[in-house]
Amino acid sequence: MNRHNGATSGRRPKAIDVAPLAIAILSVLALALTVQTLPQRPADPARAKRLEWFRDAKYGLFIHWGLYAIPAGEWKGKRSLGLGEWIMNRSKIPVAEYEPLAKQFNPVKFNADQWVQLAQDAGMKYIVITSKHHDGFAMFKSAVSPYNVADATPFRRDVLKELADACARHGMRLGFYYSQSQDWHEKNGAGNTWDFGPDQGPDNKELKNYDAYLRSKAEPQVKELLTGYGPVALIWFDTPRMMTPERGQRFADIVRTSQPNTLIDGRLGTEGDYRSTGDNVIPPEASTEAWETPATINDTWGFRKDDTNWKSPGQITFKLVDIVSKGGNYLLNVGPTAEGVIPPASQDILRTVGRWLKANGEAVYGAGTSPFGEEYGEYTARGAKDVRGQKLFLPQTEWRVTSKPGKLYFTFFAELRAPFEIPAMKNRITRAYRLADHAPVDLKTENGKTTFSLERPMLDPMATVVVVEFEGQKIER
Ligand code: H79
């Protein structure tokens, strides 16, 4: 027991005082336990406010578009493996050979309104587009560097400005990806070892004048993005190589002073507003802090003409509901061609998921996490390891749960072979119905267990949602 408990100091408890004393001690213990289980970051009301729209949005469109769409995965007649936007790095293309791609960049089929319309049809609530990827080429008119779409190409149009105006017309939020650390076009940026040598020596000593690059290009370009394109929903920084907390803070200060409502993602190098998972990584369990999974619709971000490994609409829908049930956002990428066309296959997939969301969006937008968790799967008890050598997680993918006050949304991704048993809870269940057509679902309660069955074939074989209403706001287990 805590003899130095301030709540009892100066008092000598008599027998009759034991109850308040016990309560005081218990509340101190409870406080200590709460503090331990709270997320590490301190409560920040301004951040919570900034994040409100983001937490409700759940689903965004990522767009990777730049000069790399021209080679589209092939350099000098040879396939360059890996991510399309990494071709300069993977094929060790010197700046002197990559830079002239700008003279070929003329995406005459680019139509910002059509892209925003696609995102809207897809049921996406925000767009994030590459303003400058690791190759250093800016997709906006920049006074900081002539290596940009308006000054170095025959197209001469400010792509980001057109997109920002279209988003404003459609009421769509727009954020910018900006590669703050890697810049393969600049001798002092990180990453271009083939033209400019290694970034760091064996002792991590910096061999380039990295701060000169940050101050002369990255920082002023981020400032341009935050001053010339209307309200910016977020800045999506990436790969924080050599980003010390001080350097990260310089970017954070630029964002906060230019647009205090703009969110900072989780890859700046200093604390952002939300956590970014690894690329294509969906965590195994739910979390209450704001987070986002950036993900590819095939296996590349920037367009590759040979990548047709599209995820199906059913796979995308599962990932979206899985992520929402764990408290996160899904930022799903498309890679437009050098002509300015979003590959028709990815458009079809997005629109199919969008049609599902039209009927079932209530289970997604603004929805909270699952109060259960057993549906996610479990770690293997047999000692198998995953490819990274971590304990293997065996996911279950039959169903997921999202929630709103008084409501649970059970989404089924496969037909039920037996009546579905609602996980045990203290709340009384009042009724159940299919979300898409509001058809009632019969509930059976026996021995304190409530079950229901779904008609076969399922209403929507891709994903059928059953709403279960219960007494009270929150599930008590
Ligand atoms: O913008 C997308 C990626 O280009 C970027 N993040 C997403 C959102 C990203 N930057 N770095 N990485 C992802 C990690 C990259 C790893 C690899 Fe490679 C690039 C594996 C293959 C190509 C580096 C070069 C490691 C091997 C070759």
Closest to 186 in 3D by CA, of 106, 44, 264, 88 = 88
State whether the beta carbon of 85 lies less than 6 angstroms from ligand 1: yes
In the predicted structure, residue 400 carries a pLDDT above the cut 50: yes
86 lines ligand 1 (CB under 6 A): yes
DSSP output for 14-38 = -GGGHHHHHHHHHHHHHHHHHHHHS
Residue 83 CA, ligand 1 centroid: distance in Å? 7
- How far is 392 from 358, CA to CA, in rounded Å? 36
Residue 45 has pLDDT above 90, yes or no: yes
CA distance 366 to 324: 9
Per-residue DSSP letter, 138: B
Atom of ligand 1 nearest to the CA of 182: 10
| Confidence grade of residue 42 (pLDDT, cut at 50, 70, 90) | confident
292 lines ligand 1 (CB under 6 A): no
Please tell me the distance from the alpha carbon of residue 9 to that of residue 12, in angstroms, as a whole number: 8
Q: How far apart are CA 266 and CA 272, in angstroms?
A: 5
176-230 pLDDT, tens digit per residue, is: 999 999 999 999 999 999 999 999 999 999 999 999 999 999 999 999 999 999 9
Does the pLDDT of residue 27 top 50, yes or no? no
Residue 394, pLDDT > 80, answer: yes
SS3 176: strand
Identify the H or E element spanning 173.
strand 173-178
Tell me the Ramachandran region of residue 304: left when phi exceeds 0, alpha when psi lies from -120 to 50, beta otherwise: beta
Regarding the beta carbon of 294 and ligand 1, being less than 6 Å apart is answered yes
Neighbours of 290 (CB within 10 A): 21
Q: Which atom of ligand 1 is nearest to the CA of 130?
A: 1
Query: How many CB atoms sit inside 10 A of residue 162's CB?
Result: 16
Q: Which helix (H) or strand (E) segment is 430 a member of?
A: strand 429-434
Q: What is the pLDDT of residue 40?
A: 59
Is 23 a residue whose pLDDT tops 70?
Answer: no
The residue type at 304:
R
Write the residue with the smallest CA distance to atom 12 of ligand 1. Answer: 239
Taking the chain, what is the end-to-end CA distance rounded to the nearest angstrom?
30
Phi, psi of 236 (to 5 degrees): -105, 90
Query: Is residue 121 a contact partner of residue 356, using CB atoms and an 8 Å limit?
Result: no
The pLDDT of residue 341 is 98
Quickly list H helices, 202-244.
210-213, 219-227
Q: Is the CB of 63 under 6 A from ligand 1?
A: no
Ligand 1 atom, smallest distance to 83 CA:
22
Estimate to the nearest angstrom the gap between the alpha carbon of 212 and the chain centroid: 31
Nearest alpha-carbon partner for 328 in 373, 365, 293 = 293
- Ligand 1 center to residue 335 CA distance, Å? 15
Q: For 370-387, write each residue's pLDDT tens digit.
A: 999 999 999 999 999 999
Mean pLDDT of 84-106: 98
> Is 464's pLDDT higher than 70?
yes
pLDDT in tens, 346-360: 999 999 999 999 999
Among 83, 90, 243, 292, say which to mutate for ligand 1: greatest number of ligand atoms within 8 Å of CB: 83
Residue where the block lists tokens 């057509």: 437
Whose Cα sits closest to atom 27 in ligand 1? 90
Q: What is the mean pLDDT of residues 310-332?
A: 98
Give residue 86 CA to ligand 1 midpoint distance, Å.
7
3 — pLDDT class (breaks 50, 70, 90): very low
Check if 186 has its Cβ closer than 6 Å to any atom of ligand 1: no
Arithmetic mean of pLDDT over the chain: 93
Ligand 1: nearest atom to the Cα of 177: 1
Whole-number percent of the chain with pLDDT over 90: 90
**The dihedral of CA 468, 282, 292, 63: what is its sign?**
negative
Distance from residue 464's CA to the centre of ligand 1 (Å): 36
- Say if pTM beats, i.e. exceeds, 0.95: no
Closest residue by Cα to atom 20, ligand 1, is: 82
Using a 6 Å cutoff on CB, does residue 123 contact ligand 1? Answer: no
Spacing, Cα 279 to ligand 1 middle (Å): 9
Pocket perturbation via mutation, ligand 1, pick of 279, 303, 304 by most ligand atoms within 8 A of CB:
279
β-strand pairing of 78-79 with 126-132: unpaired
How would DSSP label each residue in 276-336? E-STT---SS--SS-EEEEEESSS-SS--TT---PPPHHHHHHHHHHHHHTTEEEEEEE--
Q: Ligand 1 centroid to 181 CA: how many Å?
A: 13
Specify the ligand 1 atom closest to the Cα of 85. Answer: 4
Q: Which residue has the higher pLDDT, 310 or 11?
A: 310
Encoding tokens for residue 31? 């406080």
Mean pLDDT, residues 281-310 taken together: 98
Contacts of residue 465, defined as CB under 8 A and 6 or more positions apart, other chains included, come to 360, 363, 409, 410, 411, 412, 434, 435, 436
